């Protein structure tokens, strides 16, 4: 409210108008790759050279061709399955561990916290070779579990949830104990509902991270049926070589879900990124 006068003042100044216009142009440049991608996915091969964003004769042929052989639907399913399971696992385990570290006094608490936190320093790339060895020995190569197992819990999520569980008043937990709830029920029914903003932030980050993951799925999967969408798209694009309208259609299919989710949940996602970025 206090900014209302500033709004009127600043609106008159030409500097502000220039700044606003430049911001808008910059924003349009930022989305232009997305705009061209979607536009081209509706064009025929001979229209690709046409720079107009609205296709002269929009067609769904590319989508029909790309989706016809079922590979993309399979990759889409794989990516969704992997991202959903990993996200559920993180929401469950990261918050359970975060809660335990925040709300219980026991020997070794600090040690366990530091041990988990220290794994943040280890880059995935360093673990990939041992994971590959482990997977080949246990027969996890080229399987859903093989794609998922490294990310089932994360130190980032645990740390984020711990920070938020610390803000839950102890009185609530004591009251629940007096009411005869067991420790698991207290976490699940009393503490967890109080940290839903953090939980949704964690869910958004984990889902996005796993949906777009490329490096490990590229290594662990060898059969096309088990590719995730990014890996599948990459192999598809190599195969198409210069058929850019087909490649753009594939890229559009891989990009659309997260963009749609964003349009629906924009406020929560922006808030979630702010929350996680500042606390994490």
Partner 1 sequence: MAAIEQRGAASDRPGRSFGDRISMRTKRLLWVWGFLALPILFYTVIRFYPTFQAFYLSFTNWDLLRPAKFIGAANYVKLFKDPQFWKVFKNTFTYLIVGTPISLVLAFVIAFFLDRVRLLHGFIRALYFLPYLTTAAAMAWVWRWFYQPPPIGVINDVFGMLGIPQQPFIRSVDQALFSIMVTAIWAGLGFQIIIFMAGLRAIPTTFYEAARIDGLGEWAILRKITLPLLKPTTVFLVVFSSIGFLRIFDQVYNMTTNDPGGPLGSTKPLVLMIYQTAFNSYAMGYAAAQTVVLFTILLVVSLLQLFILRDKK
Q: Which of residues 17-46 bind partner 1 (CB under 8 A)?
A: 19-20, 22-24, 26-28, 30-31, 33-34, 36-37, 40
**Interaction pattern, residues 65-84, with partner 1; x per rule: CB under 8 A:** --------------------
CB of 238 to partner 1, least distance (A): 5
Name which of residues 166 to 205 contact partner 1 (CB under 8 A).
Answer: 178-180, 182-184, 187
Stretch that binds partner 1, among 58-66, 116-124, 140-148, 163-171 (CB under 8 A): 116-124
d(CA 227, CA 233): 9
CB of 179 to partner 1, least distance (A): 5
* Selected binder of partner 1 within 82, 86, 116, 226 (CB under 8 A): 116
CB of 208 to partner 1, least distance (A): 7
d(CA 33, CA 14): 30
d(CA 176, CA 168): 13
Q: Is 104 one of the binding residues for partner 1 (CB under 8 A)?
A: yes
Comparing CA positions, the residue from 266, 252, 234 lying closest to residue 42 is: 252
Contacts of residue 157, defined as CB under 8 A and 6 or more positions apart, other chains included, come to 90, 91, 94, 95, 98, 202, 205, 206
Q: Is 96 one of the binding residues for partner 1 (CB under 8 A)?
A: yes
CB of 205 to partner 1, least distance (A): 11
Comparing CA positions, the residue from 219, 207, 41 lying closest to residue 130 is: 219
Contacts of residue 133, defined as CB under 8 A and 6 or more positions apart, other chains included, come to none
Name which of residues 148 to 167 contact partner 1 (CB under 8 A).
Answer: 149-150, 152-153, 158
d(CA 167, CA 62): 52
């Amino acid at each position: 409210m206090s900014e209302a006068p500033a709004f009127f003042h600043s609106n008159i100044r030409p500097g502000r108008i220039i700044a606003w216009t430049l911001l808008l142009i910059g924003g349009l440049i930022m989305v232009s790759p997305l705009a061209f991608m979607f536009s081209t996915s509706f064009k025929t091969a001979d229209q690709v050279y046409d720079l107009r964003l609205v296709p002269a004769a929009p067609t769904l042929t590319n989508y029909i061709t790309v989706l016809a052989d079922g590979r993309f639907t399979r990759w889409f399913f794989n990516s969704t399955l992997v991202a959903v399971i990993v996200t559920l696992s993180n929401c469950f385990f990261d918050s359970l561990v975060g809660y335990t570290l925040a709300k219980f006094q026991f020997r070794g608490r600090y040690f366990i916290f530091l041990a988990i936190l220290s794994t943040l320093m280890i880059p995935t790339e360093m673990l990939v070779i041992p994971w590959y060895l482990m997977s080949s020995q246990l027969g996890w190569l080229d399987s859903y579990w093989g794609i998922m197992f490294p990310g089932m819990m994360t130190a980032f999520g645990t740390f984020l949830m711990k920070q938020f569980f610390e803000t839950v008043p102890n009185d609530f937990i004591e009251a629940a104990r007096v009411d005869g709830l067991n420790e698991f029920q207290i976490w699940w029914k009393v503490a967890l509902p109080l940290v839903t903003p953090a939980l949704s932030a964690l869910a958004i980050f984990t889902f996005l991270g796993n949906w777009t993951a490329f490096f490990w799925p590229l290594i662990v999967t060898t059969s096309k049926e088990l590719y995730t969408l990014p890996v599948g798209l990459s192999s598809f694009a190599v195969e198409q070589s210069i058929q850019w309208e087909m490649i753009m259609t594939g890229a559009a299919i891989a990009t659309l879900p997260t963009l749609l989710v964003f349009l629906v949940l924009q406020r929560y996602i922006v808030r979630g990124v702010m929350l996680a970025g500042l606390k994490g």
